[in-house]
Amino acid sequence: MAEGRAVLVTGSTGGIGTATVGLLRQRGFTVYAGARGRADFGPEVRVLPLDVADPESVAAAAKRVAGEVDGLWAVINNAGVIVQGPLELVPADEWRRQLEVNTIGPASVIREFLPLLRAGGGRIVNVSAATGRVAMPLLSALSASKAGLEAVSNALRLELAPWKIPVVVIEPGTTETEIFTRAGAAADATLQQADPARLKLYRSHLAAYEQAMTRFKPGPVDKVAKTILRAVEARRPKRRYAIAEARTLGAILPSLPAPWRDRLLATATGLNNLKPQAAES
Ligand SMILES: NC(=O)c1ccc[n+]([C@@H]2O[C@H](COP(=O)([O-])OP(=O)(O)OC[C@H]3O[C@@H](n4cnc5c(N)ncnc54)[C@H](OP(=O)(O)O)[C@@H]3O)[C@@H](O)[C@H]2O)c1
């Protein structure tokens, strides 16, 4: 099916990225595995140095690929991070990191790789999340970044229609990868720098949230990789492929009246019935 068609996967060193690279390779694609650090997928995969948050790195990556292939069949914008915590405690640098990796990064990748996509009759596959359609408390930065990616996808679909370049959104459910451990470590580092009085205000929020998160049972990465493969191989890909609980979270919650939605989300995240904490308590 793939006949050596070339595809790019960003964030290839992570859970979903690695599984996707493996599957695409098995199906015969020529895979460019974007990685900002060391990566080794064996001789059949082309590792491509790529930090999506660095425009020079993105431009250099596109230049190299253009020197090796005539066109691309798919760009899979998979690289992503989670910045978590109450907005009051998340500094601007962390917000910037969130938006640069999850929203501006994919936009830069698309901009630089579009000539190759046009030449290859290719498609864009953006890995979003249910937070792109339903903003979650204590995840305002992540929600903003994925809502931004959704907006980019919707606008681009129309902009690129004359060239028949499909723009697909993948919406994984909670998936077993290192993303949560990484996010937790970054949040711990941030909270250590936070004003202790302000941090105290959010103790109950943070405890309730941690408890609520244990209820989400992560699914396997293979399920997401297989869905990405479907989007890459489909003759006429759908606009969106939602997986597991993203189907209900992302599809049903946004259609509810706002007061119901707020109540459901507050309950699901354990933030209902919290009493205001005093900084001194
Ligand atoms: N896991 C889930 O439950 C879940 C749910 C919904 C959506 N998603 C989305 O799925 C995608 C993949 O996430 P994952 O769960 O596989 O996470 P992961 O295991 O943490 O992998 C994230 C990948 O993104 C890369 N990355 C981070 N910053 C980068 C940058 N500036 N430039 C290039 N690459 C960068 C990481 O590279 P380094 O190794 O160099 O840091 C890593 O390869 C993300 O977009 C995420 O939002 C995940």
Any idea where the domains of the chain sit in the sequence?
A: 6-197+218-246
Does residue 15 have its Cβ closer than 6 Å to ligand 1? yes
Going by alpha carbons, the residue nearest to atom 25 of ligand 1 is 11
Neighbours of 54 (CB within 10 A): 15
Does residue 81 have its Cβ closer than 6 Å to ligand 1? yes
Give the position of tokens 């630089």. Answer: 112
User: Residues near 145 by Cβ (< 8 Å), separated by ≥ 6?
Assistant: 98, 99, 101, 102, 103
DSSP 101: I
Phi and psi, residue 89, nearest 5° = -110, 0
User: What ligand 1 atom has the least distance to the C-alpha of 176?
Assistant: 1
Going by alpha carbons, the residue nearest to atom 34 of ligand 1 is 11
What is the rounded average pLDDT for all residues in the chain?
A: 95
The mean pLDDT of 244-258, rounded to a whole number, is: 88
- Residue 246's pLDDT is 85
* Distance from residue 281's CA to the centre of ligand 1 (Å): 37
Element (H, E) at 97: helix 92-99
Show the tokens assigned to 11.
Answer: 């964030």
* Distance from residue 82's CA to the centre of ligand 1 (Å): 8
pLDDT in tens, 88-100: 999 999 999 999 9
CATH number of 6-197+218-246: 3.40.50.720
- Residue 280's pLDDT is 60
Whole-number Å distance between alpha carbons of 172 and 162: 29
- CA dihedral sign, ordered 77, 83, 86, 87: negative
Q: Is the per-residue pLDDT at 185 higher than 60?
A: yes
Q: Is the per-residue pLDDT at 273 higher than 90?
A: no
Q: Is the per-residue pLDDT at 281 higher than 70?
A: no
Does residue 17 have its Cβ closer than 6 Å to ligand 1? yes
Does residue 112 have its Cβ closer than 6 Å to ligand 1? no
Give the position of tokens 């995240």. Answer: 269
Does residue 101 have its Cβ closer than 6 Å to ligand 1? yes
* Distance from residue 10's CA to the centre of ligand 1 (Å): 9
User: Residues near 39 by Cβ (< 8 Å), separated by ≥ 6?
Assistant: 12, 13, 33, 47
User: What ligand 1 atom has the least distance to the C-alpha of 224?
Assistant: 10
Pairing type for strands 46-49 and 167-171 reads unpaired
- Residue 4's pLDDT is 79
